[in-house]
Amino acid sequence: MTYQIELKITAEQPTLTMREVNPVEKLPAFFGKAFGGVMKYLQEIGKQPAGMPFGIYYNLDMEALDVEAGFPVTEVIKGKGEIKSSTIPGGDYVATIHEGPYNSMEPAYEALTQWAQDKGYQPTGIAYEYYLNDPGESDDTIALTEIRLPVKKL
């Protein structure tokens, strides 16, 4: 697969999230809990998300993935319980869209890393995935995921 890769310069983004460490097989349950919990809280306070749900991966240890998940919001909102007020830092990101199952994204990550290195950037080790649609909506929906890697200029 060929990926269209671009350098994005983004502003800081307030978010509401949950964060846990889980083995990879427990990610679907965690994402359900995080996305559902944040949406329920937003409804309770009369607010809407400012974009698509996302996951932040702080490591790639499949036995103990440190993952934060939630929604961007338009302003800083106080958290509640497990739901925390957070921010996605502004800065330089290399980004692409992956079409297909979540378990088939490794080539996209490899392409992003290679592109960044070729252009004189170093990925920071954190990965952001924005889930642009819900493949569970119908059998013919193909998952679309925007992957962003924060980078620093070498």
> How confident is the prediction along the chain (154 residues), in pLDDT tens digits per residue?
799 999 999 999 999 999 999 999 999 999 999 999 999 999 999 999 999 999 999 998 999 999 999 999 999 999 999 999 999 999 999 999 999 998 899 999 999 999 999 999 999 999 999 999 987 778 888 999 999 999 999 9
Pick the CATH number of 6-153 from 3.90.870.20, 3.20.80.10, 3.30.70.3000, 1.10.443.10: 3.20.80.10
pLDDT confidence of residue 51: 96
pLDDT on residue 135:
78
Which tokens is 148 given? 């962003």
Q: What is the pTM of this model?
A: 0.95
pLDDT score of 136: 77
Upper half-sphere CA count for residue 42 (Cβ side, 13 Å): 22
Cα separation, 1 vs 112, whole angstroms: 13
Distance, in Å, from the CA atom of 147 to the CA atom of 104, rounded to the nearest integer, reads: 13
Domain ranges of the chain: 6-153
User: Buried b / exposed e across 113-137, counting CB within 10 Å, b at 16+?
Assistant: bebbeeeebebeebbbbbbbeebee
pLDDT of residue 60: 86
pLDDT at 140: 85
